[in-house]
Amino acid sequence: MTMDMIGPEAETYLSWDGLVQALIDGHRLPRAGIADTFLYRGKDTQLNRAAWIDGLGLLVKTATIFPGNPARGKPTVNGGVCLYGDATGEMEAVIDFHLVTKWKTAGDSLLSARQLARPDSRNILIVGAGTVARSMVEAYRSAFPQAEFTFWNRTPPGAAALAAATGGTATTDLEQAVRQADIIATATMSHEPLVMGDWLKPGTHLDLIGAYRPDMREVDDNALTRARLFVDARATTVDHIGELKDPIARGVISESDVVADFYDLAKGTYDRRGPEEITLAKNGGGAHLDLMTAAYILAAWRGR
């Protein structure tokens, strides 16, 4: 079996529509087997994620998240991705970690927005100004080409720089920006809620991306109780991420309040019921989504 070494140059052959379709198709296959291991050292995190989807293949992804790295001139998130063939278990590809992570993370929330946001959404607020925030601009523009983007960041120069690079607008008034937004994406490292439920107007859709640890939150309890709740995968969110784990433990919401995950797409239950409904989708990632994304990248690379 030929093994491919795939770097950032593969991005030329990818499209957001193609990835979203690959994610939809991947969730029509047998349910993934997944295993996650989390190691913590203070604020630093190591995630070892593995997935196996019968008919698609196997993947192992290791990610390290070191929030102090920017001060050293290094990326916060690093790691490696290995893709194995389904038939023989032989390694098929080693794929650039940042390529897989960018497309998986943004594609995950793009799929949610395509299912849940109002089609006429025009005002998109991005909370955070890092790598994921920039990726979300690319992804959202593929589905909402007329959208106007507003950026808020804890450090205003970060929002201003991203706005200048993408043709958006920076703001220092988060509450006002939330009140005007049709779609809100949170992509921060926050441990405390930033977006308050009282600020949300009817019809808003939220994509929560940033929180990945049990001690992290990006929205408050009121946002969760006002919204209809969705996740990409129950197995990687409900018991692992503070956005849901914490309020469930305190009885604010229950696990049954999560309406659907991506394995319910075929049932038609991962959807918006009306124009006034507030919808919220928690992007928890998961190696099965990395596997679907990596398989899509490999197929696009080989078909170039």
pLDDT digits (tens, 9 = 90+) for 275-290: 999 999 999 988 999 9
**What is the reported pLDDT for 240?**
87
Q: What percent of the chain has pLDDT above 90?
A: 93
Dmax of the chain from CA atoms?
A: 56
pLDDT in tens, 150-198: 999 999 999 999 999 999 999 999 999 999 999 999 999 999 999 999 9
Extended strands (E) in 136-278: 148-152, 169-170, 183-186, 205-208, 228-231, 258-260
- Phi first, then psi: give them for residue 284, nearest 5 degrees: -105, -5
**What is the reported pLDDT for 119?**
95
Residue 1 pLDDT grade (very low, low, confident, very high; cuts 50, 70, 90):
low
**Contact yes or no for 303/12 (Cβ under 8 A):** no
Residue 38 pLDDT grade (very low, low, confident, very high; cuts 50, 70, 90):
confident
Which tokens sit at 122?
Answer: 């025009």
Residue 226 pLDDT grade (very low, low, confident, very high; cuts 50, 70, 90):
very high
Per residue in 184-218, is it b (16+ CB within 10 Å) or e — as a string?
A: bbbbbbbeebbbebebbeebbbbbbbbbbbbebbb
- What's the CA angle centered on 35, arms 281 and 75, to 5 degrees? 65
CA 142 to chain CA centroid, Å, is 16
- Phi first, then psi: give them for residue 285, nearest 5 degrees: 70, -145
pLDDT in tens, 92-109: 999 999 999 999 999 999
Rounded Cα distance, 135 and 133, in Å: 5
* Residue range 55-67: mean pLDDT, rounded: 95
**Contact yes or no for 211/217 (Cβ under 8 A):** yes
Rounded Cα distance, 204 and 195, in Å: 12
The phi-psi region of residue 171 (left if phi > 0; otherwise alpha if psi is between -120 and 50; otherwise beta) is: beta
